[in-house]
Amino acid sequence: MPQSRFYPSVLYATLCILLLFLVTGCALQGATVLEDKSHEMSSIVVAGFFPVLSAGEEPGIIRGPLQGAVYMAHPVTQDIVEKMSESVYSKMAEKGYDLISPEQTKGVLASLHFSKPKMGGVELYSEIGKTLSADGILVGYIFRWWEREGKDFAVDRPASVGFDLYLLRSENGAVVWRGKFDKTQQSFFENLLDAGTFFKSKGKWVKAETLAEMGLSELLLKFPKNIGKIEKE
């Protein structure tokens, strides 16, 4: 009899531990609402993504321009930045906001770099939002983009991607929402807690762009919709 009670208790304890790891593991990345008034915005500048380190720069530990974020950063090429900027703009179209595109933002950014070369970080993005008469500005930083080395079912090195997204209020530069995606693809048996990625990739080793698109979609599922505009429609 003691043995028959022992095994269920071990199983229960194991399940509890797995659940704990699942909860804490998910907490390491994802989206966070810092100010529960983001739905009051009606217009957002989608500035898009920027590299923490540009192509040709040496990898290293870098302090980002927003909230003192520290990155173990690797260089990212401009074509990747452009693709991710287009993607976030396209995905944001479903949220019900009046959007200003990354392309429209470039002119204002170039003008501010020329007229106020020392301006940066929160102050710069706040100024862009005000100049374009928008309530908020969405900006992201890519700090790692390692391409898969290998093929769909056999790799020497899996894809690995890391980026942050921030929504700032134009009026005062306050960060009202942020999202973080930081993932290296693993096999099903290496990380049972990340089975979702395994099934989404159909058991394949995906390219970095596919992994990034998965992450961006996951984050924006948690991005607040423009409640006021949706209710009117």
Q: What is the pLDDT of residues 22-40, one digit of tens each?
A: 333 333 467 676 766 655 7
43-51 and 98-100 strand pairing: parallel
List the one residue out of 56, 86, 84, 28 whose CA is nearest residue 208: 84
The secondary element (H helix, E strand) that includes residue 217 is helix 208-221
Residue 69 confidence class, pLDDT cut points 50, 70, 90: confident
> What's the one-letter identity of residue 71?
Y
How far is Cα 222 from Cα 168, in angstroms, rounded to an integer?
A: 16
List the one residue out of 23, 42, 34, 12 whose CA is nearest residue 178: 34
Q: Write the CATH number of the domain with boundaries 29-232.
A: 3.40.50.10610
Q: What is the pLDDT of residues 87-114, one digit of tens each?
A: 999 999 989 999 999 999 999 999 999 9
Strand partners, 99: 44
pLDDT value of position 177: 94
Is 74 a residue whose pLDDT tops 80?
yes
Q: What is the pLDDT of residues 108-166, one digit of tens each?
A: 999 999 999 999 999 999 999 999 999 999 999 999 999 998 887 777 889 999 999 99
What are φ and ψ of residue 46, in 5° steps? -95, 90
Which residue shows structure tokens 């907490």? 27
Q: Where are the domains of the chain?
A: 29-232
pTM: 0.80
How far is Cα 138 from Cα 178, in angstroms, rounded to an integer?
A: 9
How far is Cα 209 from Cα 200, in angstroms, rounded to an integer?
A: 14
